Structure 1
Amino acid sequence: MLDEVERWLERRSWSAAERPLDVLLAAKREAGAQGTVSVVLPALNEEETVGDIVATVRRELMSSQVPLVDELVVVDSASTDRTARIAERAGARVVQRDAILPRLPALPGKGEVLWRSLLATSGQIVCFVDADLRQFDAAFVSGIVGPLLTEPSVQLVKAMYDRPLERGGAVVPGGGGRVTELVARPLLNLHWPQLAGFVQPLGGEYAGRRSLLERLPFPVGYGVELGMLIDALGLVGLDALAQVDVGVRRHRHQDGQALGRMAAAIYRTAQLRLSRAPLVRPELTQFTREGAAFVPTTHPVDTAERPPVLTVPEYRPHRAA
């Protein structure tokens, strides 16, 4: 298995710099309708960062000189701050999560937003980018879209990057991605060793062909990235998956308890794919100190998944169009 991963790394791991924009634009023109690109930002109270991301994509990838991206959509999960207003002023089309497929009550979670975004976009290549990134570089989009435009056999591309941990002015190189190192990477190495070569399996920046994404189930919460990677492996095989180095990812870091909830959801996603049997107790109890005592708080673990969007009646005319 190690030899297979090493061969995959040699064939399916690239740097964004290997595909300059002129090469991508030529490939996009040749691809025609199959080369249309939608960029989706799932957003919940990201007023501090979403505007810069939108402005960068529009300026560097949507101009008449560099028309790489055809559609830029921010799907807002009922933010209570100025996220929607700032994103719209920066040039994004803003769609409210609950306005997409309104007959189906929305569930909380990022995966829910990504799943619904397939009904609100039209590109044959869909690129997801987290809305909390700081010092955003357009290579986060062009880098991961690149292989889908130039390599016909590639169907899903993950970004890889350095992920420093920044806290209180201190920077720990490589200190980010704690859930990846403690939960996701061990799970993948033990149970899906073909995926062991992915540097950032839980990263929120990835792009895929619509023809693949519409056939995948979407865990509604934190497990969406792991679930998508595992399910894509089963559907299209390792050689259709790839990763691209886009540099450094800087973003807002969550506290330890939020990471615990994320880890539980990711483990649940893996467990479902290993056995499809229900957990006895899909909940997570965490503790915080209040005075002299530790007070327990119990949180439900994300267990819902949305079916492949191709099975949703409202999606079929959207796809035909």
Structure 2
Amino acid sequence: MISIVIPVLNEGATIRQVIRTVKKTSRKTEIIVVDDNSTDTTVEEAMKEGVRVITSSQRGKGISMREGMMAAKYDIVVYVDGDILTYPDNIVELLTDPIVNDQADFVKSYFTRQAGRVTQLVAKPLLSILFPELAHFQQPLSGMIAGRKSLLSRVQFENDYGVDIGLLIDMHVLGARITEANIGRIENAMQTWEQLSKMSREVSRTILHKAEHMNLPQENLETLGNINIIREQMEYSILESIDKLHKMVIFNLDEVVFTENYLHLAAAAFDVDLSLQQIMEHHTDPVTILEHTATLFRDRNLAELLEVADAIPIVPDIKAVVRELKKRGYACGIITDGFECVARHIKNKLGMDFVFANRLHLYDSVATGEITIPEYFLQQDDDGLDALPRYNKNNILQYIAHKYHVTPQNVIYVGSGSDGSNLLKEAGIGVAFDSRVPFIEKVADKIIPGPYMAPLLSIAQASPEKFRIKLPPISKKQARRIGIGSLVALASAGLVYLAARQIRKNGQEREKSLALNC
């Protein structure tokens, strides 16, 4: 039984064909697509093939490969790239036969291709000097590999172009039996000189780093010390891309996306539900609750955390609603008191744009038990500079206005009001979804009874600014005091006003048309 891991980044055009190719194997497999926070349709296309899709905790192929391995349920793990359309139909057999037949523990593919400059000019020369036992491998940088999970869990996954050469060296150091498998001719997109330059630096850095840990002769390292091994880090923030947008929809993950509470389910899955209950009973400060809750998930890896999230049913039509909202020019995202890594995973599955959440610390994709509360959830009180900021999720609207120039009037917030009603009040349109909060109609601009999200599309037809004039709520007692006749008169006056405005608008359009015809 084999786990096939496909790390992907913006490969919506090719991922389905890759999945279909690896499905042709005769062996029992599971397929795990690890999305590296793509901004195209990669996640949506992969999910059409019925495979498991998880979201990497941070951008980088090495992290995606490691987290895919963590999620794998079988001992033989195969990695294939998600952008190659020329794999042979028996790619899985070619990579795993030596392991299945107990002839190898790690299989490195080799192939014919149109170019391999970094391999020939950087990787092989360095290997011949520092690791001569590995110099014979034809494609040391190949990303199509297979190995035993028991060994892969003991090696380090570099988070850049050095990941593949690093795995080869680490497997060699562990004493694994390594062999090569010919997978034919591979064609993929040619890389730019900038990409090749970055690759050469990172491959060099990885080989030198491994050599230093092996205590190889110092003169060799000094000779190679002049190589530029400065590592370039690529930071990712999808929110930066919405700076020029003028309207947003924010969904409360815990109230209107998930149909069950993530923290409670995760606590039950990891047998810490009693501890979570005690935290909730003994503390009232949100920051203290978050910090204590984070400790309950110490030593849980990302794959385990996301597996709980994937088991929670979501609102049936929310993905289609998000797709339509984005067509209308809305940026769509999630807000939650929970963990950013979980929220980002759901964001990617639903095709949303951004996440506001608390950052659970992960080291090597394993939770440390610590959490960071981002600045947009903290509000400075007026008690002076020495006062500590307090947790206030409602601060997000001011943060968005300041950082992304989207005013609260242009934000639609969708929640139930369970954790406070201020966001429903302060957003341009506050939408209460499937709410059981008493008197929610006095707070929200619109109410969607559930269980479907489709009515939100009718609400989003209008510009949020049109909802800023709110009539105060009228109780039954007030209605009796005013009298039915007065209410009818008020309604009639409103209809007259709307009719007059429409007549005036038609007259202006007619005058404009006449002016153009002249």
Give the TM-score category using the shorter length: 0.5 to 0.7
Note if contact 2:6-2:33 (Cα within 8 Å) is conserved in structure 1: yes
Higher strand share goes to which structure?
Answer: 1
Equivalent AA in structure 2 for residue 262 of structure 1: M
Return the offset for 1:230.
0.8
Q: Corresponding residue for 1:288?
A: none
Equivalent AA in structure 2 for residue 124 of structure 1: D
Return the offset for 1:117.
1.1
**Which digits, 9 at most, give the CA deviation of each residue in 1:16-45, with x for residues without a partner?**
xxxxxxxxxxxxxxxxxxxx2000100000
**Which digits, 9 at most, give the CA deviation of each residue in 1:267-314, with x for residues without a partner?**
111111122499898526xxxxxxxxxxxxxx4599xxxxxxxxx933
**Which digits, 9 at most, give the CA deviation of each residue in 1:232-269, with x for residues without a partner?**
111115xx000111101111221011011011011111
Equivalent AA in structure 1 for residue 43 of structure 2: A
Return the offset for 1:89.
0.8
Does 2:102 align with 1:155? no
d(CA) in 2 for partners of 1:138, 1:232: 27
TM-score (norm 1): 0.67
CA change 1:54–1:272 in 2 (3 A) is same
d(CA) in 1 for partners of 2:229, 2:195: 16
d(CA) in 2 for partners of 1:185, 1:256: 19
Does 2:51 align with 1:92? yes
Q: Corresponding residue for 1:199?
A: 138
Q: Corresponding residue for 2:10?
A: 45
Note if contact 2:3-2:72 (Cα within 8 Å) is conserved in structure 1: yes
Aligned counterpart for 1:127 among listed residues 72, 78, 81:
78
Q: Corresponding residue for 1:225?
A: 164
Q: Corresponding residue for 2:182?
A: 245
Note if contact 1:264-1:301 (Cα within 8 Å) is conserved in structure 2: no
Aligned counterpart for 1:83 among listed residues 27, 35, 42:
42
Note if contact 2:75-2:148 (Cα within 8 Å) is conserved in structure 1: yes
Q: Corresponding residue for 2:230?
A: 283
d(CA) in 2 for partners of 1:252, 1:235: 34
Q: Corresponding residue for 1:74?
A: 33
CA change 1:267–1:179 in 2 (3 A) is same
Higher relative contact order (CA 8 A, sep 6+): 1
Q: Single out whichever of 191-200 and 269-278 deviates more from structure 2.
A: 269-278
Return the offset for 1:197.
1.8
Counterpart secondary structure, 1:274: helix
Return the offset for 1:317.
11
Q: Corresponding residue for 1:214?
A: 153
Return the offset for 1:316.
12
d(CA) in 2 for partners of 1:47, 1:316: 24
Return the offset for 1:82.
0.7
Note if contact 1:261-1:301 (Cα within 8 Å) is conserved in structure 2: no
d(CA) in 2 for partners of 1:235, 1:74: 27
After the TM superposition, which residues 282-301 of structure 1 pair with which residues of structure 2 at under 5 Å, given as runs? 282-283=229-230, 299-300=232-233
After the TM superposition, which residues 117-196 of structure 1 pair with which residues of structure 2 at under 5 Å, given as runs? 117-150=68-101, 152-164=102-114, 176-196=115-135
Q: Structure 1: which 5+ runs fail to align?
A: 1-35, 99-105, 165-175, 285-298, 303-311
CA change 1:317–1:179 in 2 (3 A) is closer
d(CA) in 1 for partners of 2:299, 2:93: 32
Counterpart secondary structure, 1:81: coil
Aligned counterpart for 1:114 among listed residues 65, 69, 75:
65
d(CA) in 1 for partners of 2:301, 2:105: 20
Note if contact 2:71-2:303 (Cα within 8 Å) is conserved in structure 1: no
**Which digits, 9 at most, give the CA deviation of each residue in 1:207-243, with x for residues without a partner?**
0001110111111111111111111111115xx0001
Return the offset for 1:48.
1.5
d(CA) in 1 for partners of 2:64, 2:303: 20
Runs of 4+ in 1 over 6 A off after TM superposition: 277-281
Q: Corresponding residue for 1:307?
A: none
Note if contact 1:51-1:86 (Cα within 8 Å) is conserved in structure 2: yes
Counterpart secondary structure, 2:70: coil
User: RMSD of the alignment, in Å?
Assistant: 2.6
d(CA) in 1 for partners of 2:151, 2:40: 34
Note if contact 1:222-1:266 (Cα within 8 Å) is conserved in structure 2: yes
Note if contact 1:179-1:259 (Cα within 8 Å) is conserved in structure 2: yes
**Which digits, 9 at most, give the CA deviation of each residue in 1:60-95, with x for residues without a partner?**
12xxxx2x1420011001111111111111232111
Equivalent AA in structure 1 for residue 73 of structure 2: S
d(CA) in 2 for partners of 1:249, 1:69: 25
Higher radius of gyration, 1 or 2: 2
Note if contact 1:42-1:113 (Cα within 8 Å) is conserved in structure 2: yes
d(CA) in 2 for partners of 1:316, 1:261: 28
d(CA) in 2 for partners of 1:196, 1:145: 23
d(CA) in 1 for partners of 2:230, 2:130: 23
Return the offset for 1:135.
2.5
Counterpart secondary structure, 1:41: strand
Aligned counterpart for 1:261 among listed residues 198, 208, 216:
198
CA change 1:263–1:316 in 2 (3 A) is closer
Counterpart secondary structure, 1:119: helix
Does 2:185 align with 1:235? no
Note if contact 1:283-1:300 (Cα within 8 Å) is conserved in structure 2: no
CA change 1:230–1:55 in 2 (3 A) is same
After the TM superposition, which residues 6-45 of structure 1 pair with which residues of structure 2 at under 5 Å, given as runs? 36-45=1-10
TM-score (norm 2): 0.42
**Which digits, 9 at most, give the CA deviation of each residue in 1:75-118, with x for residues without a partner?**
001111111111111232111113xxxxxxx2x32111101112
Counterpart secondary structure, 1:246: strand
Note if contact 1:265-1:301 (Cα within 8 Å) is conserved in structure 2: no
